[in-house]
Structure 1
């Protein structure tokens, strides 16, 4: 049986999606932040149990065709400021750049760099004094505690100047010596003419590189021991994938949420949704995105923590409210996040030592979650610990009873996400909200109601939707080079060089020339701003760009693995759904009442029901409030509509 495994590593849970000719299956494991390779292989172990009915990782890895991996660890590392101490080397003409870089985000700048900045006079780089100056700067920064350095010069010849420093550093600090300090030259990463973007791209990449490298190579080496047929593919934030050795650390930033947006794009096309906003509620954050007319919002110069960088990034905003976000009372008001209890210790109801109140604890006490069937029955929940946490952190500080506190927590959680939706997206009467992630469907209707949205879609794969979304990504390599002159001869010579690199790198990915597509475009800085001009094969240098101050050639080699689906999924009511059980649930203004629970796995296509009710499957629960109804589509997804 041919199959693929997609793994999405989140801050609290790691999702696994197994795709084969027989359909799609899923499972989850707790993330182990102290050793990500542990939860990676625990996910593979559970996947083998799902596929074969018994643990057999060896067989799984012998038979699997592709393993794709995405992660939020880069996002979490930046948010939590966990990484190496960086030193920044600038040229003496760029002393003002320090304040400019810091203005982007003073907190991130101080956490990554602080006062570890030194300057080199690039005018002396070709003199005998150059070696002394460079050594002095490197020693100065390492003495200040820097364990990785970034060199970023400005001016039109920044690449040549950085190359001079590179040669000196390699002579004086050979890489085979234990005292060698890793140095990243910004021009090796990007030739973006904007020094702010180029510097921040290099700094963020250097900050993320050590942890990503250590984990990914460790995981890949363990996979090699099982003789897997193909290398581990890393899903990137540009929507494609590549092997570990050909992946840049900064491109793993927000790759997990980008996987979810790939799924949103496919889902919206199948159902004919013209405008879709999404909430991906995980343990630590809620990631918010929008897909309009089949296009996911993306910026050519994306943002990391609000900082502009040189690379394209999907426009996904992360709100600090998830299933494990901490609830507190401040000045008589409920405050949510951004702090999270994560996977360890987790919400108080997990019984792992957590004492903070979370929406997971509140949902359990409201009666929405079954303490015995939660997490597919693999994790029993502790009502007493949840109650103690809510009383201590919310009810007592507010001076209210437990039930009032629970309803207030639920209302505050929904209101916060609805507020973030309005801040990050544009909502109209046609907008459909997709809810996914382990905690996404739970309060989805409440969020939609507060946001003014009347239709909610919950995919059957909602619990692992980001892992599901990366399942059809392409394999690609992308290159950017600055043109020395704006003419056809230079363009053709540079194209030839990049085509050779693409052939070499795609061969390393396992693809022969002719089996992938080559696309090229020019990005010019003109008086009117940045101009992007696609190139056709054999085309001369465009005359309209001859006066540009700088021109970059971008080339992409893409092996398409996506399978376009032009079908349309019907949503038709056929028969009243049958409840599998009933549960006492605390409902606003009604107290605790007996509600029907519909098990998604036992429902048929076209089954429908009205709220108030609970819709449940192994890894997610959805509350259907009064005034809302649901129907199961022909594909097994759930469409919820607000009456009237």
Structure 2
């Protein structure tokens, strides 16, 4: 096959058949697996269809006001791609797996769009809000602000609990909070929060309309570090409502079609689970994490030791790095730089994408983090948008063909784009339209290059992997400003994150802290977690014996050192761990679906590429010039050409700058190298 990862998808499908692919009753399938991977972004939703050895793709506009709408529109479009006509019923009868990832959590945090939270803390820890704010003052003010109530633990545990708990809840709801977070510090915080919960449920039973949702920090984690545990609860509570409403609605609609397997939610830790077994914070950057999985496979295929990635969507540019086959993962992950209690992949999201708003501030261009999203979208979409975006600038620079953009499914309006750029950029800067367009382009490329340097370590051997719908467009310009001389664009760039989630495992992961450091406590908690894992994996559709369970002890010592001991056979508490400040018991139950492919690819220039046409574009050096346009679908391995040029396919456009040369690889991907 001539696609960079088709061979891998075939191996994955084969492994699923052989491993007893989850089919509701834990039975294997006798045919090639059909799976739909959906990556929901702020502006566009990507769909990757893996039908045995065939890999196909499509895209739709995200409907942020109702995510279930674009979810099912995506399924309709996928069925059309597969069958030649829309037949969702047939698709859902035949599909083996639907995996879903999203950047909605990332976008919500980035744009500060979510519920107003109230926070209830231990009265003896009145300095905690200040410590929490030091992690990210602006985010803390946006999510919590002044909506904080302190309660002494002896009050919560005493006879006045009913009165004081009700007062605390009423104070916060009167201040505008529509969700509450309860996080107590100090010894016995779990017991105190349990006591608060009993009072709250008695006084505000959940069947009442006035019952405000309350999240308790200890419901999520027993992490003993109060700041980290509290931030984890705050962020999860902020993300929960939108994720819950959409995902349960989508899953219920799938049931109406009698789909044989549950919808699987791809998580930031690289695995998936059903909706009912997924917590909101683990969906943060789950879409970008799919791109990281794809980057690991891509680096292995081409033997790249150092790869940085830019995944440019409508609202954000997500940046990651893969060194010697590994992406950065933290046991205590980070959201917007804030340490949380769960393991997360280290992905940085910059508020600059194809739909990010460009404004002039103090005589300079400021980009994002606000986005016009899919509705109304960039001005050139003709849906009512009036703000200037890089998409508008790229159209006016001549980079897009309005008749073929978005696979020919969307017309573009040059006049509306020109009006937005003139009003918001050109006039405030005192520039003509063309000068304003060049200024916008350079500012955009510089912002992404700056974020690359801030988050990754770039060397002379670094290769930049550009993907996402807008990733390849300005990749050469970003690379030049970042000091990178080689850029890779996967053939599946437009849906690369959706593709990357296709080989994830199904898993449930648990962590509890040990208090007594005793064999008795270890055995009790290990037995409880093993029982929980068995129940949860059964709920995932995984029969006993079809998944593995691994238990480990993770100790943190006074000097900051972390040690891990895998428990095998009889669980024994290591004597050295008695010196630790904290010991956690971790249990991971995993249904293995990944395939360790050994595919490699060559890159060799053989034949000059044949242009499919030409286009007049605006350049910084030479003004408006006519350049060749190369259609990726018309080229063969080894085809090569030099810039300036346009390289495009249905769902992405790549501007090849002067001084750059590209070649199509053995597997249909594109490598670009700076010549000077």
Q: TM-score range by the shorter chain?
A: over 0.9
Q: Distance in 1 between matches of 2:240 and 2:150?
A: 24
Secondary structure of residue in 2 paired with 1:47: helix
2:258 matched residue in structure 1: 227
Of 539, 544, 563, which residue of structure 2 is paired with 1:513?
Answer: 544
Secondary structure of residue in 2 paired with 1:230: coil
> 2:479 aligned with 1:448, yes or no?
yes
Q: Distance in 2 between matches of 1:472 and 1:48?
A: 21
What are the ranges of 5 or more consecutive residues in structure 1 without an aligned counterpart? none
Closer/same/farther in 2, CA of residues 582 and 468 from structure 1, 3 Å limit: same
Closer/same/farther in 2, CA of residues 165 and 333 from structure 1, 3 Å limit: closer
Q: Distance in 1 between matches of 2:275 and 2:108?
A: 19
Shift of 1:125: 4.2
Cα deviation code 1:81-128 (max 9, x no counterpart): 222222212122111112111222222222222222222222344432
> 2:130 aligned with 1:93, yes or no?
no
Cα deviation code 1:507-531 (max 9, x no counterpart): 1101112211212222333211252
Whether contact under 8 Å (1:2, 1:63) holds in the other structure is no
What are the ranges of 5 or more consecutive residues in structure 2 without an aligned counterpart? 1-31
2:618 matched residue in structure 1: 586
Q: Distance in 2 between matches of 1:430 and 1:376?
A: 35
Shift of 1:144: 2.7
TM-score by length of 2: 0.93
1:563 matched residue in structure 2: 595
Aligned length: 644
1:65 matched residue in structure 2: 96
Cα deviation code 1:292-312 (max 9, x no counterpart): 111111222222122221111
Q: Distance in 1 between matches of 2:362 and 2:165?
A: 54
Shift of 1:339: 2.1
Cα deviation code 1:266-295 (max 9, x no counterpart): 111111010000001111111111111111
> 2:612 aligned with 1:595, yes or no?
no
Bigger mean CA offset, 118-127 vs 596-605:
118-127
Secondary structure of residue in 2 paired with 1:604: coil
> 2:224 aligned with 1:193, yes or no?
yes
Aligned residue runs from structure 1 range 160-559, under 5 A: 160-529=191-560, 531-538=562-569, 539-559=571-591
Q: Distance in 2 between matches of 1:626 and 1:534?
A: 54
Closer/same/farther in 2, CA of residues 85 and 390 from structure 1, 3 Å limit: closer
Q: Distance in 2 between matches of 1:364 and 1:144?
A: 46
Q: Distance in 2 between matches of 1:186 and 1:162?
A: 8
2:3 matched residue in structure 1: none
Secondary structure of residue in 1 paired with 2:579: coil
Closer/same/farther in 2, CA of residues 418 and 125 from structure 1, 3 Å limit: closer
Shift of 1:400: 2.5
Bigger mean CA offset, 176-185 vs 8-17:
176-185
Secondary structure of residue in 2 paired with 1:616: strand
Q: Distance in 2 between matches of 1:206 and 1:329?
A: 35
Q: Distance in 1 between matches of 2:449 and 2:168?
A: 50
Q: Distance in 1 between matches of 2:201 and 2:355?
A: 47
Whether contact under 8 Å (1:523, 1:530) holds in the other structure is no
> 2:202 aligned with 1:158, yes or no?
no
Of 22, 44, 50, which residue of structure 1 is paired with 2:81?
Answer: 50
Cα deviation code 1:3-42 (max 9, x no counterpart): 1001111111111110121321110111111100001111
Secondary structure of residue in 1 paired with 2:191: helix
Of 15, 31, 34, which residue of structure 2 is paired with 1:3?
Answer: 34
Whether contact under 8 Å (2:111, 2:370) holds in the other structure is no
Higher relative contact order (CA closer than 8 Å, sequence separation 6+)? 2
Secondary structure of residue in 1 paired with 2:124: helix
Of 633, 646, 653, which residue of structure 2 is paired with 1:614?
Answer: 646
Of 59, 70, 90, which residue of structure 2 is paired with 1:28?
Answer: 59
Shift of 1:173: 2.6
1:604 matched residue in structure 2: 636
Q: Distance in 2 between matches of 1:12 and 1:181?
A: 31
Whether contact under 8 Å (1:287, 1:318) holds in the other structure is yes
Cα deviation code 1:207-227 (max 9, x no counterpart): 111111111000000111011
Whether contact under 8 Å (2:553, 2:567) holds in the other structure is no
> 2:666 aligned with 1:634, yes or no?
yes
Bigger mean CA offset, 265-274 vs 586-595:
586-595
Q: Distance in 2 between matches of 1:320 and 1:126?
A: 45
Whether contact under 8 Å (2:663, 2:671) holds in the other structure is yes
Closer/same/farther in 2, CA of residues 587 and 126 from structure 1, 3 Å limit: closer
